[in-house]
C-alpha cells in the first residue's frame, strides 16, 4: 500500500473512499516517500491541514468517506480526526458534480447516518406555458478562464501484476509555449511527482536520460590493463631473483 498527494480540487467522486484521514502511524520516512519533488514534508503537512491537498491510498488506514448503498457518507470513525473545512470543501465539490453526496458532519457524528429528506409539499398543477422562442446562444466564459493551470501529476509503474512503482526516474517536460519552457526533475521513490508552475500550453513528457559513458569505460579498462601489466612484471622480476 502506498499513498500519493493530490490537490483537493482534483479529487473525483470515485476517489472519496480512498482519502486518508489517519496519519498517526506515519514516520519521517513515510512522509518523505509521499512528498512531491517541489515540496518539503512540512509543506505537505501544512497543505493537508489547510485542506489544499489530500492523500489518496488503495487501502487507507482510516478512510475519510465510505459508500453505503451507493451513497457517500462521512466515515463516523474519522470524525474526531477529520478537517471540517476539508469536509465542507469536498462536500461542495461532490455536490457540484451532481453526485447527490450531500452530508452533515454533525449528523454523521451523532448517529452515523444522514438525516432523511423533508417531505415535499403538495402543489396544484401549474398551467401549461409555451416555451419562448429560443434565443441566439451567447458565448460563455469558462470557469477556468484567468485561472492558473492545474499542476501536472506524473506517475510511472511497471507493467506487472502488482503495478510496482518506478522510483527515482528523471523526467523532462517540454511545453509548446512562446518561451519553450522546459521543466526537469525526478520522480520520488514511489514513482510519483507533482509538477506546478506549468504554462498553459501543450507539453511532451519524457522519462530517463541517455548517458554516454563509453569514454569513461575505455579509460577504466586502460587503467586496469596497465595495473595488470605492472603486476605481471613485478611477479616476473621476483621469480628471477
Give the per-residue pLDDT at 139. 62
How many Cα atoms within 13 Å fall on the side-chain side of residue 39? 25
Confidence of residue 198 (pLDDT cuts 50, 70, 90): confident
Q: Is the pLDDT of residue 209 over 60?
A: no
Give the per-residue pLDDT at 106. 39
Q: What is the pLDDT of residues 22-34, one digit of tens each?
A: 888 888 888 888 8
Q: What is the pLDDT of residues 138-191, one digit of tens each?
A: 666 665 566 677 788 888 888 878 788 888 889 999 988 888 889 888 888 888
pTM: 0.40
Q: Is 114 in contact with 65 (CB distance < 8 Å)?
A: no
Mean pLDDT of 107-129: 53
Confidence of residue 5 (pLDDT cuts 50, 70, 90): confident
Q: Is 155 in contact with 167 (CB distance < 8 Å)?
A: no
Confidence of residue 137 (pLDDT cuts 50, 70, 90): low
The 3-class SS string of 153-171 reads EEECECCCCCCCECCCCEE
Cβ neighbors of 126 (< 8 A, separation 6 or more) are none
Does 112 or 228 have the greater pLDDT score?
228
Confidence of residue 78 (pLDDT cuts 50, 70, 90): confident
- Mean pLDDT score of the chain: 76
Q: Is the pLDDT of residue 114 over 50?
A: no
Amino acid at each position: 500500500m502506498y499513498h500519493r498527494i493530490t490537490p483537493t480540487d482534483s479529487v473525483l467522486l470515485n476517489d472519496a473512499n480512498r482519502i486518508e484521514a489517519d496519519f498517526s502511524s506515519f514516520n519521517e520516512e513515510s512522509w518523505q516517500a509521499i512528498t512531491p519533488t517541489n515540496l518539503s514534508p512540512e509543506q505537505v503537512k501544512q497543505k493537508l491541514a489547510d485542506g489544499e491537498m489530500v492523500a489518496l491510498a488503495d487501502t487507507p488506514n482510516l478512510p475519510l468517506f465510505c459508500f453505503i448503498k451507493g451513497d457517500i457518507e462521512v466515515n463516523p470513525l474519522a470524525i474526531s480526526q477529520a478537517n471540517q473545512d476539508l469536509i465542507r470543501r469536498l462536500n461542495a465539490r461532490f455536490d457540484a458534480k451532481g453526485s447527490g453526496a450531500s452530508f452533515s458532519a454533525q449528523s454523521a457524528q451523532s448517529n452515523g447516518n444522514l438525516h432523511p429528506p423533508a417531505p415535499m409539499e403538495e402543489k396544484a398543477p401549474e398551467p401549461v406555458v409555451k416555451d419562448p422562442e429560443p434565443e441566439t446562444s451567447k458565448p460563455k466564459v469558462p470557469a477556468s478562464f484567468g485561472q492558473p493551470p492545474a499542476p501536472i501529476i506524473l506517475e510511472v509503474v511497471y507493467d506487472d501484476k502488482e503495478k510496482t512503482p518506478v522510483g527515482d526516474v528523471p523526467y523532462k517536460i517540454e511545453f509548446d509555449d512562446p518561451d519553450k519552457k522546459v521543466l526537469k526533475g525526478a520522480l520520488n521513490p514511489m514513482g510519483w511527482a507533482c509538477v506546478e508552475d506549468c504554462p498553459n500550453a501543450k507539453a511532451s513528457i519524457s522519462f530517463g536520460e541517455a548517458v554516454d559513458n563509453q569514454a569513461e569505460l575505455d579509460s577504466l579498462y586502460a587503467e586496469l590493463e596497465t595495473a595488470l601489466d605492472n603486476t605481471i612484471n613485478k611477479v616476473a622480476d621476483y621469480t628471477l631473483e
